[in-house]
Every structure is written in structure tokens, then in C-alpha cells.
Chains A and B, each alone.
Chain A
Amino acid sequence: MRIIAIALISLLLMAFDYRQEHLSSVRKGLSTLVAPLQFLVNLPTILLNRSGEQLKSHSELVAENRQLTDENLILKAKAQKLNELEAQNARLKALLGSVSERREQRQIADIISVRASEFNHEVLINKGSSNHVYVGQSVIDAEGIMGQVIEVTPFSARVLLITDARHDIPVRILRNDVRAIASGTGSLTRLLLNQVPHSIDIKVNDILVSSGLAQRFPSGFNVAKVSVVRHIQGDNYAYIEAIPLARLERSGQVILLWPNGYQAEDQEVRHDKK
């Protein structure tokens, strides 16, 4: 008898959770309870990485430092150019009477867990609502867009990767601004472009960037590179595969983006902007 009651409650929970009604607070509470456990199980990995840093030889560190300094110099030089271009872009946009887009605020977070069920592509990061992380926020790494935040607890957040089968992201081809939607497939190395007509100009190795439509992701960030273009006789649409550019399979650091008009004015975020 009791099993029937429990089954019914479970089914109700699932249905509500699926439709994301009423339950987010229950979920949040339970997540906060298991958060310490998640930190605990990932501690060995973190410690191993740390001790790896400690054990590096002096010469290795010097070499790494030199390489980073070089890289930094090059990036700074590029940034100079970028500042000028941004200012120019803003002027031109002002002339055209459209809204200028300034740069987003960003903050670095660590991936603390990559453990998810077999069906989901999700990672856990170590910034939460105490750092003003919010649901729907974009997460990128150095190479491109990784995904978006779907669940926030005070000190951690869950990120849905763009390759998850439940995820779609609006993109455009960098070369010619053609729009499309890239859907996750459940494989870490594959995105599918939906409903692209045969007539559209798209080639292998085209870069796809976020289009900013739907206003979830900021526009202009790298998403994927086209890997397969196939025109199958009789199909209404072309079959197009793309490889995500972000390193989704690696754990490490990610970057959280805040749109520049974001309301919660707090010191930390502003500080990191510099």
C-alpha cells in the first residue's frame, strides 16, 4: 500500500519538476544539503591539482611564467586595438541610432564536479547566488560558449552544456550571418543544425557564433565549427553537424558573464571587471 503512495508522490514530483513549478525551492533546499558532500568527493581531485602545482620545479615555473608573459603581451596589444574598435563601433551605432553594446562583466569560476546522470551534460561550478549567479546566465571558457546556468544554490550552480540533448542555441555563420539553431545531441563532440534549407551557403569549417537572438546568450561568442555538411536526396533540410569549440570535456575554469546593465551592483563583480 505504501509503495503505491510513494510511487504517486514520485510521479507528481517528476511532473512538477519537469514543468518547473513550485518545486524549485524544494530542489534548492535539497541541493544545498548535498552541496557539502559534492565538495567532499571532489576534494581529492582539487588537492591533486594543487599538489601538482607545488611539486613543479623552479625551471618549469620560470618557463611557464615566461610563456604567460609573452602571451599576455600579445593579448594586451590585441586589446588595445579592440578598445579602439569598440569605441568606433559604438560611435557608428550611435550614428545609426541603435543601442550600443558594451562589454559584459565577467567572473571566473571553477568546475567542482562533472558528475551527472548518464542522460545529462551538466557540470557544477563553485559560484552561486552569493556571487549573484542567476538562472539563465551564460557560461563560457577561453574557446567559446559552454552553456547556461540552470540551478543555483548559495555556493554552487549547475550548468547545462550546449551539447545536452535538451539544449538549443541560436547561432549565425560568422562568414555570412546566416541564422540557424544548433541543438545538442547528447554527444560531447557533436551539435546538429536544425532545419537549414539546402539552398543555404554553408561549408565545412565555417565558424558558428552566438546570434544573440532570444536574448539568452550574448551575441558574437564562438559556439562551434561545422564538421559535416550533407545534402540527402529527398530530405527537406540539409544535414549539418558541428563540433563545439569550448572544451566541454575538460574540467577547469570557466567564465561567467553578466550583461553590462546587470542590476545587482556589488563590489566583487565590478572589481573583476577591470
Chain B
Amino acid sequence: MTRNKRSLGFILFSFLVGLTLLILPLSNEVQDYNPQWLVLIAAYWGIAAPEKAGILMSWIWGLFLDVSIGTYLGIHALSLALVSYMAIILHQRLRMYPMWQQSLFIWLLAGLDKLVVLQLNNVLDTVEVQWNYWYSTFSTALLWPVVFLLLKKFRPN
């Protein structure tokens, strides 16, 4: 029982750290490369502990992201829930993959997240983005091994 509580606490904590890193005030140039931390964390828990951290968890943290950066409520929530969903339905296969293939998959997930956010925004207001909108998908994919190993090392079993 206490073990369950501890691992849930750790999951919540990791999401909180992810959100904090995501809303750090950075200069515009650096901001473009700030990885999508919540995508990384939602994907990790989807793959590593799909029975504990489901899509609902990602959805709620997506809502928090929406209010902290002022997008319409539900946009990031939905995109993160989708990321989580993809990771969960493919988690058995993903666990077998070598690290670089996982990274490639994370890159696709990060792209999916950005695409969903962009398109949903586009429905409500017309928005235009340049190429730099997509830069962070690459840093997200590159950072995947680091996040994976860190979370794996520190999570309570």
C-alpha cells in the first residue's frame, strides 16, 4: 500500500518537475529548443507503468499547462492524453526496442503533440507558425534517453 503511494507520489512529482521546466522563462531563441518535457514524462509513464499513470493523469497535467501558458482549456490536455494513449497501446512493443528506436518514436509523439496543438488552435483562431515551431521535437527526441535513464534510476519499485 505504502509502496503504491510512494510510486504515485513520484509520478506526480515527475510531472510537476516537467511542468516547471516547461514554463521556465527563457529567451525566445532558447525557448524554441526547450523540449516538450510533459510529452517525455507522459510517454515514459505510458511505457513503464501503464497501469499506474494512465491517460487521465496526462490529461490533468495538460490542463495545468493550458492555464499556465494561457491556451484554450483542453488543447494541451487533449494532445498529452493522445501521447499517453499512443505510448500505452504500444508499450509492450516499445519496451523491446533499442534506445535509438524509442527516441525515433518519441520524436513522432512530440510531432503529434505539436501538430494537435497547432491544429486545434487553428480551428479557434487562425495561426501561422514558422519552422522554429517544430525545433523542440528534435530536442525532445534527443533528450529521451537521459529522461528514460533518470526516471528509471530514481523511481521507487
A residues near B (Cβ < 8 Å) are 2-3, 6-7, 9-14, 16-18, 23, 26-27, 30-31, 33-34, 37-38, 40-42, 45, 113-120, 122, 151, 158, 165-166, 186
**Contact among B20, B75, B82, B133 with A14 in the assembled complex (CB-CB below 8 Å):** B75
- Name the segment of B63-71, B99-107, B143-151 touching the other chain: B63-71
**Contact among A2, A114, A116, A158 with B55 in the assembled complex (CB-CB below 8 Å):** A2
Q: List CB contacts (< 8 Å) of B92-114 with chain A.
A: none
Residues of A within 8 A of B133 (CB): 118
User: How far apart are B17's CB and chain A's nearest CB, in angstroms?
Assistant: 11
- Interface membership of B124, Cβ < 8 A: yes
A-B CB contact pairs (8 Å), 19 listed: A6-B59, A7-B78, A7-B81, A10-B75, A10-B81, A14-B74, A14-B78, A17-B73, A17-B74, A27-B73, A30-B64, A41-B23, A42-B25, A114-B25, A115-B23, A115-B24, A117-B71, A120-B71, A158-B70
Pair B82/A3 contact, Cβ less than 8 Å: yes
A114 to B64, CA, bound (A): 17
Pair A14/B55 contact, Cβ less than 8 Å: no
Pair A37/B23 contact, Cβ less than 8 Å: yes
Pair B125/A10 contact, Cβ less than 8 Å: no
A90 to B120, CA, bound (A): 51
Residues of A within 8 A of B20 (CB): 37, 40-41
A267 to B26, CA, bound (A): 37
Residues of A within 8 A of B29 (CB): none
User: How far apart are A274's CB and chain B's nearest CB, in angstroms?
Assistant: 33
Pair A33/B74 contact, Cβ less than 8 Å: no
- Interface membership of B13, Cβ < 8 A: no
The DSSP consensus for interface residues of chain A is helix
Residue of B nearest to A29 (CB): B67
Contacts A41-B24, A119-B127, A186-B128 given; indicate if A13 touches B73 (C-beta within 8 A).
yes
The DSSP consensus for interface residues of chain B is helix
Residue of A nearest to B128 (CB): A186
User: How far apart are B112's CB and chain A's nearest CB, in angstroms?
Assistant: 13
Contacts A2-B55, A6-B78, A37-B20 given; indicate if A31 touches B73 (C-beta within 8 A).
no
**Contact among A18, A27, A45, A151 with B25 in the assembled complex (CB-CB below 8 Å):** A45
Pair B124/A14 contact, Cβ less than 8 Å: yes
Residues of B within 8 A of A14 (CB): 72-75, 78, 120, 124
Residues of B within 8 A of A118 (CB): 129, 133
**Contact among B23, B25, B59, B67 with A10 in the assembled complex (CB-CB below 8 Å):** B59
A132 to B85, CA, bound (A): 43
Contacts A6-B59, A13-B77, A33-B64 given; indicate if A151 touches B23 (C-beta within 8 A).
no
Most B Cβ at <10 Å: residue of A18, A31, A118: A118
Pair B56/A2 contact, Cβ less than 8 Å: yes
Residue of B nearest to A188 (CB): B28
Residues of A within 8 A of B19 (CB): 34, 37
A122 to B66, CA, bound (A): 13
The list of the 9 closest CB pairs from A to B, nearest first, reads A13-B74, A10-B78, A10-B74, A17-B73, A30-B67, A14-B74, A119-B127, A117-B69, A3-B85
